[in-house]
A and B are shown apart, each in its own frame.
Chain A
Amino acid sequence: EAQVTQNPRYLITVTGKKLTVTCSQNMNHEYMSWYRQDPGLGLRQIYYSMNVEVTDKGDVPEGYKVSRKEKRNFPLILESPSPNQTSLYFCASRAPSGRVTDTQYFGPGTRLTVL
């Protein structure tokens, strides 16, 4: 089954404790992206990657890191989480052709709470 998976689905942590949210896709997609969803703000793009070893900042990259060492994986790293990073996070991927009109598939989301 073609899908984007994220782990963990739920995470409660404390300020300053480094964490990683994993994202994996089995569709051989070149493009992958991370978003955060907050009430009243919709989805805001954190980072995206057009291919392996190619990453770039989205609209809200502060406090986040990403890496793209393999095509299928795109982990999101919070080196020192803060309460304002409490949010619902989505990973997404898009077809290998790279056309903007190709469907972007979203994972199920990771709900992060930083105390």
Chain B
Amino acid sequence: NAGVMQNPRHLVRRRGQEARLRCSPMKGHSHVYWYRQLPEEGLKFMVYLQKENIIDESGMPKERFSAEFPKEGPSILRIQQVVRGDSAAYFCASSPSRATYEQYFGPGTRLTVT
């Protein structure tokens, strides 16, 4: 059973470009969470999604950031008009049921904005 997959693993964008980060949850998992981690800091919750629904996006900046988890395909975290402060590691996690703290994390996408 494959684990949580994220791609790309590394992404470089110039200021003003768009970044799209993909997350494929573990098989059978319908709950997806996105986190951001700045260097030397802990993870910060961004958004929690179920298939086709955003359940909680209270940790996500209101502007430039959006997330989706369509019926088919991976979950997407989209950052428009990236700025240097968006440089971070973005982790996706999945769980099989509604919000157990036992989440399974992917390897992360490291976004660098130049």
Real complex partners, A and B? Answer: no
Q: List chain A positions with a Cβ less than 8 A from chain B.
A: none
